[in-house]
Amino acid sequence: MSSRHNQSDVHKFFLLGFQVLHSSRIILFISFLVVYISTIYGNLLIIVLVSTTRHLHSPMYFFLSHLSFCDILLCSTVVPNFLWVTLHNVTGCLIQFHIFSFSSRSECILFPVMSYDRYVAICKPLHYQTIMNVRVCLGLVLYAWIFGLGLMSIVTLLLSLLDFCYSGDIDHFFCDYAPLIQLSCSDTTVVQLVGIALGTPHLLIETMFIISTYVCIFLAIHRISSTTGKQKAFSTCSSHLAVVCICYGILMAIYIFSAGDLSVTVTKILSLMYTVVTPLLNPIIYSLRNQDITRTMKRYWTKWRKML
């Protein structure tokens, strides 16, 4: 009998999370519970405002509401389980990985979709309503969700076929791709090649597409003669650009530059920023930088105070 079969197969994974003292775990638990509630509230607020306010029924806010839903799904996949792990260290892994990776992949597709929307709005304003019609918007959103689901279903299926026959301890706070690969005692060559083939080209294409659209946007803004016109045009895309830079910067640091170069703790902190901090920042950035949403929030707040 081979040494591989002498090892007991792992059927339950244990997330180690952040190794801290019990008293610090309580503080960590309370802090991230507050962050999670704030994240859900902020993103739900954007979805409700967009769906119930007539003047926000435009492609930009339609895509923004789907981005908020992605953030809710991503955060809700990781944070509740992270809170449980903080106290108990137990999880079910592949389901969490699938939902997390699917929502993250769909979010990454929505970013170039939103950059294309801003490109059409600023560079082709007279044709905006014709190009970004309801059918096109629905098609782009369906593509983001279906393609993200299909792509990550392949990776999850290949991971489910692996044998996990080591300790079952994952030195992370959620089930990510790299820790699962490291835990397997099967030949993971095919899974890793498929992961690279499916992930890297799309990430590069999306990044180059966003860069090219914003080059065109900045050139169009530069050609605007009035300072007020330039500021107004830039304000419509500055929030999206800020969110894209944050998300893509963290993702690249985690999945491209962290191949053995970053410590486990640094990798956990970067992952924490992407799965917890970024979904919290997104609605804040869009709310503070967007006058339409700010005015709508103030109007609803005024109505609510009068009702009281």
Contact 233, 221 (CB under 8 A): yes
Looking at the DSSP bridge assignments, the partners of residue 13 are 91
Task: Give the helix ranges, DSSP H, for the chain.
Answer: 3-6, 22-52, 59-88, 93-123, 128-131, 134-160, 177-183, 189-223, 227-255, 264-272, 278-289, 291-307
Q: Is residue 3 part of a domain?
A: no
In a domain, 255, yes or no: yes
For the chain, give the mean pLDDT.
80
Structure tokens at 263: 């410590």
pLDDT tens digits for 275-295?
888 888 888 887 766 777 777
Measured from the Cβ of residue 106, the count of other Cβ atoms closer than 10 Å reads 25
| Structural contact between residues 173 and 15, judged by C-beta atoms closer than 8 angstroms | yes
- Give the residue numbers spanning the domain of 124: 10-307
Looking at residue 2, what is its pLDDT?
A: 42
Tell me the CATH number at 44: 1.20.1070.10
Contacts of 132 (CB under 8 A, 6+ apart): 59, 117, 120, 121
- The predicted pLDDT at position 86 comes to 63
Q: What's the CA angle centered on 227, arms 223 and 233, to 5 degrees? A: 65
Q: How far apart are CA 185 and CA 194, in angstroms?
A: 18
Specify the pTM: 0.80
Q: Which two tokens stand for residue 270?
A: 């970067």
The count of domains in the chain is: 1
The Cα–Cα gap between 41 and 63 comes to: 18
Residue 20 has pLDDT above 60, yes or no: no
Residue 105 has pLDDT above 70, yes or no: yes
Reported confidence tier of residue 85, pLDDT bands at 50, 70, 90: low
Answer yes or no: is 4 within a domain. no
Q: What is the pLDDT of residues 157-169, one digit of tens each?
A: 888 888 776 556 6
pLDDT, position 16: 56
Q: Look at residue 5 and tell me if it is in a domain.
A: no
> Pick the residue with more confidence: 296 or 11?
296
Euclidean distance between CA atoms 288 and 300, whole angstroms? 16
- Kindly state whether residue 2 falls inside one of the protein's structural domains: no
List pLDDT tens digits, range 231-249.
877 877 888 888 888 888 8
pLDDT value of position 308: 63
18 within a domain of the structure (yes/no)? yes
Over 70: is that where the pLDDT of 101 sits? yes
Q: 123 to each of 110, 115, 117, how far by Cα in Å? A: 20, 12, 10
In order of 70, 100, 223, the CA distances from 103 in angstroms are: 6, 5, 38
Question: Residue 56 above 70 pLDDT?
Answer: yes
Least trusted range by pLDDT, from 16-25, 71-80, 96-105, 277-286: 16-25
User: Rounded to the nearest 5 degrees, what angle is found at the Cα of 114, between the Cα atoms of 113 and 118?
Assistant: 120
- In terms of residues, how long is the chain? 308
Q: Quick check: 96 pLDDT over 70?
A: yes
Position 109 confidence tier, pLDDT thresholds 50, 70, 90: very high
Query: Can you tell me the distance from the alpha carbon of 121 to that of 119, in angstroms, rounded to the nearest whole number?
Result: 5
3-state secondary structure of 187: coil
- Which of 87, 8, 75 minimizes the C-alpha distance to 38? 75
In a domain, 27, yes or no: yes
In a domain, 125, yes or no: yes
